[in-house]
Structure 1
Amino acid sequence: MSNLIKTVLFLVVSAFLTHLIPFSDFFRNLDTMIHEFGHAVVTLALSGKVMYIELYANHSGVTYSQVSSRWSLIPISLAGYATASLFALLLFRLRSRDKERLGLQVMTLLAVLSLVLFVRNPAGISWLIGFIILNVIVLAIAPRWLRDLYYLLLAFLTLEESVFGPLSLIMYAWNDPMRAGDASNLSAVTPFPAIGWAVLFTVFSLWCAVKALKLFLRGRSSHREGKPRIQQQFER
């Protein structure tokens, strides 16, 4: 069985299991936050202006921005799904290196930056505040085993959303190419149709997912190398 098929089956089972966990839907907005944050950062990098971001309870989001060049829409539109997929891969890479605490700190920092700089709608602000507070509590007082389980839940939810988001985009692009979000934006400034861009997003997300699951199944590097770390002996 190919790695791709294994990855898809793993993600389907993972999605089923995570939906059984109470309040897991709350954390699915993490992928949305990263997606929109990617749009915002690339917009600023191209000298554009980010007006504001909205995050919604249904795990969707939108970034409102102004750009001076029509062609700058290409990297900006590409950034959302690409950033989300790469971030999911980063979470598993950090776990493989026994750096879950750093991963949680990165998530919290990005949430704080999103809250201060970009997000302005009530639902998005409420979610960010709740997510930040929960992360701070976990980082401050949770025992090591609970913190690592919490991190793993966030990593898998982010990975699932980073793959199923582009997959659903294919259906949107097939049924109504004008309402396929980033894929529609790209088709408007390039000769390629929206469904082509949606497929490209999906292929890239699956490539990242294959690598992420390889890291997960391989386990932590410190365990493989048999080199105990002093800090592990003192963590709660």
Structure 2
Amino acid sequence: MSFVREKFSAKFFLFLVISVLLIHIPFMGNYFRVINTLIHESGHAFVALLGGNVERISLFMNSEGATYSNQSTWIGSFFTGLAGYTFASFSAFLFFLLLGRKKQILLIDIILGFIFINLFFWVRNPYGIFWLSSFAAGFLFLLIKGSQGFRDHLLMLIASILLVDSVQSAYEIFYISLQSPQSAGDAANLANLTIIFPAPFWGALFFFQALWFCYYGLKRGYYKT
């Protein structure tokens, strides 16, 4: 059992290192980071639908994204603003939980669900359409042509990229909230909505929840196997 645990630990470390390297490759790194952006913006959109409507989502070449929605209530705007980083961090946790429980097929369905929902209903900008189409085509091709072992490693790589970038992007917004609060995206929006809680408060919340989900995603997910 200890040998198996050490083997999985080494594999995890390897995939996390590969993910860190991939997302920092010039130009190509931003392409991989859009995986996290897709989940982040989808989180905004899903919550926005509970009390309003989603006009569109944009995914950009620099790995940033934007969700354009209409909310009729303050509470709807608040939870929509809160949803992006928390949904991305929770999804990273969920991906590793599914891998740990050998639910690879369900994970594939979830990834394709995110892609096709966004492609058919929300994403309209040229790069966003290109990214969704190219990622879906490449993902499906590799699933069809690859062995089961290759499929499992591909899913682990996607989960690792999402995990690493969910933490990195949350740290970035935390840092920006300290240096330039009005430019801190979701943290700035929440600060404007709540008045008494400044952008650094929300930036810190996003960062620490990302660390929490990262820790428990690894502890209760794949390490259980």
TM-score, length-normalised on structure 2?
0.86
- Residues 1:15 and 1:136: Cα distance change in structure 2 (over 3 Å): closer
Question: Do the aligned partners of 1:31 and 1:162 also contact (CA within 8 Å) in 2?
Answer: yes
Q: 1:193 is matched with which residue?
A: 198
Root-mean-square deviation (Å): 2.1
Give the whole-Å Cα distance in 1 for the aligned partners of 2:209 and 2:181. 20
Question: Do the aligned partners of 2:59 and 2:128 also contact (CA within 8 Å) in 1?
Answer: yes
Instruction: Select 1:160's aligned residue among 158, 164, 183.
Output: 164
Where do 4+ consecutive residues of structure 1 move more than 2 Å? 10-27, 138-141
TM alignment of 1:1-16, pairs within 5 A: 13=17, 15-16=19-20
Shift in Å, 1:176:
1.4
Q: 1:230 is matched with which residue?
A: none
Shift in Å, 1:146:
1.0
TM alignment of 1:97-116, pairs within 5 A: 97-116=101-120
Bigger mean CA offset, 208-217 vs 69-78: 208-217
TM alignment of 1:118-197, pairs within 5 A: 118-190=122-194, 191-197=196-202
Question: Do the aligned partners of 1:32 and 1:59 also contact (CA within 8 Å) in 2?
Answer: yes
Instruction: Select 2:32's aligned residue among 27, 34, 39.
Output: 27
Structure 1 runs not aligned, ≥5 long: 1-9, 221-236
Give the whole-Å Cα distance in 1 for the aligned partners of 2:22 and 2:224. 20
| % identical equivalent positions | 36
Give the whole-Å Cα distance in 2 for the aligned partners of 1:84 and 1:27. 14
Question: Do the aligned partners of 2:97 and 2:217 also contact (CA within 8 Å) in 1?
Answer: yes
Q: 2:42 is matched with which residue?
A: 37
User: Is 1:211 the equivalent of 2:224?
Assistant: no
Bigger mean CA offset, 16-25 vs 87-96: 16-25
The one-letter code of the counterpart of 1:197 is W
- Residues 1:100 and 1:20: Cα distance change in structure 2 (over 3 Å): farther
Q: 2:90 is matched with which residue?
A: 86
**Corresponding pairs, count:** 210
The one-letter code of the counterpart of 2:153 is L
Question: Do the aligned partners of 2:170 and 2:206 also contact (CA within 8 Å) in 1?
Answer: yes
Instruction: Select 1:60's aligned residue among 53, 61, 64.
Output: 64
Give the whole-Å Cα distance in 2 for the aligned partners of 1:171 and 1:189. 20
Give the whole-Å Cα distance in 2 for the aligned partners of 1:27 and 1:211. 23
Shift in Å, 1:175:
1.7
CA-to-aligned-CA distance 1:4-42 (integer Å, 9 cap, x gap): xxxxxx698565444588955423211100100010111
- Residues 1:90 and 1:76: Cα distance change in structure 2 (over 3 Å): same
Structure 2 runs not aligned, ≥5 long: 1-12
